[in-house]
Chain A
Amino acid sequence: MAESSLTKKRTGWRVKLEPRLDEPTGKESLLISLGAVVVALILGGVVIAVVGGNPFASYLHIARAAFGNIGVLSDTIVKATPIILTALACTIAFRMKLWNIGAEGQFIMGAWGASAIVLAPVLAPESPRWMFIPLMALAGMGMGALWGLIPGYLKAKFNVNEIISSLMLNYIAVSWVNYWIFGVWSEGGFQMSPKFPEAASLPRLSDYASTIPFLRGLTTHAGLFFGIAAAVFLWYIVYRSRWGYEIRLIGDNPHAAKYAGVNIVKNTILVMALSGALAGLGGMSEVSGVVRRLQTAPINAGYGFTGIIVAWLAKLNPLAIIVVSILFGALILAGREIQPSGIPKMIQGIILVCLIASDFLLRYRVRVVKNEEE
């Protein structure tokens, strides 16, 4: 058995690493991930304490401000909705080992595409909701898909590193949206578009408060259904369809996939486009359900990057993403009030670092053994 360089000599005892011969069980893998998150929260707490904050108060505040009552829980779900869609976007690409880091830009372009239906305007403002919403969703997915297609095509045809090209497109997307909201669609010189008509907005729970008073003030919007439907759809694609099998095969073993006759060029382009479309739908849901106008700051809030972490934490399982997204929605929602403002971002980063490090435990078994045993 291969001895790792990690092996440390201790007095009488030492740490021994054995490569696992079997796949770890689901329970083991879940425990390891949870352990990684706990370690990350402890590390994050140390940094908070170093800069003079109180980590316990910060974490308690996050829990209360995100799950304390039905109102904030609803807000947490609102924050989780875009993350579900960007995390699904990352999942399908990562399954094929395509590192689409551009979900942020695809999300922004999706928001722009959906807004263009209202602002260009493609539909007259008096149009009914059943025309607005599907068309906006299609436009959002279309622009997102285009923004995913570009790095996908460059990767497939010229072997251009998709990490960097998709990331560069994020910056281009921000400038593109800025051009429209500062110039063409600016409302009275402000850096935002005019408000969308009611028919172009996704319905919120609070819209039904006149019939069901309990729903008053609840901001959860119909974009959540997009997220859940997309998760189920993607779960089916990945685990139950022939295409999903091909995608997983390319991801696990591109050589085997090639010999099996899987078209890698076609799949690279298609998967990047699907990935972009999912992120674009997230952008549509955010402008139509939450912001209800085109504005840079709320749609350029890092949902694309959070999606990467969520996808990884959910082990690229589309249904697990819904649960993990809600936890991260809580972190983002509550984190807005925590000072210094970088803390949520830092904790997200530390969680990802600990998660990747913990993957080691999925491949190796760590045992403490007596030196004399061998």
Chain B
Amino acid sequence: MDPIVILQAGVASGTVLLFATLGEVLAERSGVLNLGVEGMMLIGAMAAFSTTIATGNPWIGVLAAMIVAGLLSQIHAFIVITLQADQVVSGLALTLVGAGISLVLGEGLSKAGTVSLMPSFSIPLLALIPILGPIFFTNQSVLVYIGYLMTPLAWYYINHTRPGLHLRAVGEYPSAADALGINVFRLRYAYVFVGGMLAGLGGAAISLAVAPGWFSELTTGGQGWIAVGLVIFAQWNPIRAAIGSYAFGALRRLILDIQGPLTLFGFDNPFYYNAYLGFFLQMIPYAFTVIVLVIGSRESIRKRLGAPAALGVPYIRGERGK
């Protein structure tokens, strides 16, 4: 129950959520709601693990995960952007397809044994900073460090670059963006693809770094859905997405660690003496997601912030007011 250890492990497991959440932030900023994150993460985790077994190189595994999940996302893109279908049902279908294909192709993969994982290392000098050093910069996977870089880059990209401006325009007011010569359809396809790649990267971060291996659907265990919830909490802002992801990661680790010690705050630890209470601990991340959603939704009503205006609305050229 060392808080430093919990936070350190929390940052690692939060990285999974971070990638998936950032990807969904980008897709939703372009106006496309993709509920298929869970399916894309699963197929990413499966592709990363199996490719690494085949090639022995985890980097190729990560690349495969991103490509496969990105390709899967294009099914959703085609259905909702070109065929203008309902984004909610299509996203759900994508989760089912992604899970189904991963189970079929991942059959027998759980007995495959160990693979070489993504490398972990400490950052010189930064690791020496008290408290922050051990939490963020000591013995973390290279993917965790990529997450640190990606968050501010995504924030800067969305808010302070020209392509980021186009992204926001397409998500807020697609017909105006179209009138300015921005290709709404192409940009939406592209950002759904990026979202898929990042979800796949999140899946790869599970199977090659945080919780190595392939455990069929339990590999992700609903983290894709938690990521979709975090986007709302984050109010489509990468910085808030990172804070939420790391907090959730730490929560997951705390739940594991709290069952260890004999006493808690001077009392007998009920979770140690009654193992069945562990089932209530397992509920916490999911219950917490609901609470976080309530907070996020209330806040966005109060501040009149909210989802990109065109989120979930298909863009049809020539229709008025869309």
Interface residues of A (CB under 8 A from B): 2-6, 47-48, 51, 99, 101, 154, 158-161, 163-165, 167-169, 171-172, 175-176, 178-179, 182-184, 305, 308-309, 312, 339-343, 345-350, 352-353, 356-357, 359-360, 363
Closest-CB distance, A8 to chain B (whole angstroms): 12
- The interface residues of chain A lying within 8 Å CB-to-CB of B294 are 154, 158, 160
* Complex Cα–Cα for A311 and B243 (A): 38
* Complex Cα–Cα for A158 and B292 (A): 12
Interface contacts beyond A182-B276, A309-B93: sample of 12 additional A-B pairs, CB < 8 Å, sorted by A: A158-B298, A164-B293, A168-B286, A168-B289, A169-B290, A176-B279, A179-B280, A183-B274, A343-B100, A356-B85, A356-B89, A360-B84
Q: Is A341 a contact partner of B225 (Cβ separation < 8 A)? A: no
Main secondary structure of the interface of A (DSSP, over half): helix
Most A C-beta atoms less than 10 A away, residue of B75, B86, B283: B283
B239 near A: Cβ within 8 Å? no
Q: Is A350 a contact partner of B100 (Cβ separation < 8 A)? A: yes
Closest-CB distance, B105 to chain A (whole angstroms): 6
Q: A5-B317, A168-B289, A356-B86 are in contact. Are A51 and B279 (CB under 8 A)?
A: no
Q: Is A342 a contact partner of B279 (Cβ separation < 8 A)? A: no
Q: A175-B280, A352-B92 are in contact. Are A164 and B100 (CB under 8 A)?
A: no
Closest-CB distance, A36 to chain B (whole angstroms): 12
Q: Is B286 a contact partner of A171 (Cβ separation < 8 A)? A: yes
Ordered by A's residue number, 25 sampled pairs between the chains whose C-beta atoms are within 8 Å are A2-B319, A3-B317, A5-B317, A51-B107, A158-B294, A158-B297, A160-B294, A160-B297, A165-B289, A165-B293, A167-B222, A179-B276, A179-B277, A339-B107, A341-B103, A342-B107, A346-B97, A346-B100, A349-B97, A349-B98, A356-B90, A357-B79, A359-B85, A360-B84, A363-B84
* Complex Cα–Cα for A165 and B282 (A): 16
* Complex Cα–Cα for A164 and B38 (A): 12
- The interface residues of chain A lying within 8 Å CB-to-CB of B98 are 349
Q: Is B225 a contact partner of A47 (Cβ separation < 8 A)? A: no
B316 near A: Cβ within 8 Å? yes
B101 near A: Cβ within 8 Å? yes
B96 near A: Cβ within 8 Å? yes
Q: A160-B294, A163-B35 are in contact. Are A346 and B103 (CB under 8 A)?
A: yes
> Which residue of chain A is the closest to B221 with respect to CB atoms?
A171
- The interface residues of chain A lying within 8 Å CB-to-CB of B18 are none
Closest-CB distance, A344 to chain B (whole angstroms): 8
Q: Is A305 a contact partner of B96 (Cβ separation < 8 A)? A: yes
* Complex Cα–Cα for A104 and B83 (A): 29
- The interface residues of chain A lying within 8 Å CB-to-CB of B101 are 47, 342, 346, 349
- The interface residues of chain A lying within 8 Å CB-to-CB of B226 are 168
Closest-CB distance, A347 to chain B (whole angstroms): 7
- The interface residues of chain B lying within 8 Å CB-to-CB of A345 are 96, 99-100, 103
B159 near A: Cβ within 8 Å? no
Q: Is B279 a contact partner of A360 (Cβ separation < 8 A)? A: no
Closest-CB distance, A28 to chain B (whole angstroms): 17
Closest-CB distance, A169 to chain B (whole angstroms): 7
A349: contacting residue among B79, B93, B301, CB under 8 A: B93
> Which residue of chain A is the closest to B318 with respect to CB atoms?
A2
Closest-CB distance, A41 to chain B (whole angstroms): 14
Q: Which of B109-139 contact A (CB under 8 A)?
A: none
Closest-CB distance, A222 to chain B (whole angstroms): 31
B102 near A: Cβ within 8 Å? yes
Interface residues of B (CB under 8 A from A): 35, 39, 75, 78-79, 82-86, 88-90, 92-108, 185, 216, 221-222, 225-226, 228-229, 232, 274, 276-277, 279-280, 282-283, 286-287, 289-290, 293-294, 297-298, 301, 316-319
Q: Is A160 a contact partner of B293 (Cβ separation < 8 A)? A: yes
* Complex Cα–Cα for A96 and B35 (A): 19
A360: contacting residue among B85, B99, B108, B283, CB under 8 A: B85
- The interface residues of chain A lying within 8 Å CB-to-CB of B107 are 51, 339-342
Q: Is A356 a contact partner of B297 (Cβ separation < 8 A)? A: no
* Complex Cα–Cα for A307 and B211 (A): 32
Q: Is A353 a contact partner of B276 (Cβ separation < 8 A)? A: no
Closest-CB distance, A97 to chain B (whole angstroms): 9
- The interface residues of chain A lying within 8 Å CB-to-CB of B94 are 349, 353
> Which residue of chain A is the closest to B80 with respect to CB atoms?
A356
- The interface residues of chain B lying within 8 Å CB-to-CB of A179 are 276-277, 279-280
* Complex Cα–Cα for A169 and B104 (A): 27
> Which residue of chain B is the closest to A312 with respect to CB atoms?
B89
> Which residue of chain A is the closest to B38 with respect to CB atoms?
A167
Most A C-beta atoms less than 10 A away, residue of B79, B90, B286: B286
* Complex Cα–Cα for A350 and B293 (A): 30
Q: Is B103 a contact partner of A357 (Cβ separation < 8 A)? A: no
> Which residue of chain B is the closest to A155 with respect to CB atoms?
B297
Q: Is A352 a contact partner of B96 (Cβ separation < 8 A)? A: yes
Closest-CB distance, A223 to chain B (whole angstroms): 25
- The interface residues of chain A lying within 8 Å CB-to-CB of B276 are 179, 182-184
> Which residue of chain B is the closest to A348 with respect to CB atoms?
B96
Closest-CB distance, A94 to chain B (whole angstroms): 8
Closest-CB distance, A190 to chain B (whole angstroms): 14
Q: Is B104 a contact partner of A172 (Cβ separation < 8 A)? A: no
- The interface residues of chain B lying within 8 Å CB-to-CB of A339 are 107
> Which residue of chain A is the closest to B293 with respect to CB atoms?
A160
Closest-CB distance, A312 to chain B (whole angstroms): 6
Q: Is B316 a contact partner of A357 (Cβ separation < 8 A)? A: no
* Complex Cα–Cα for A75 and B99 (A): 26
- The interface residues of chain B lying within 8 Å CB-to-CB of A348 are 96, 100
Closest-CB distance, A153 to chain B (whole angstroms): 11
* Complex Cα–Cα for A160 and B300 (A): 11
Closest-CB distance, B41 to chain A (whole angstroms): 14
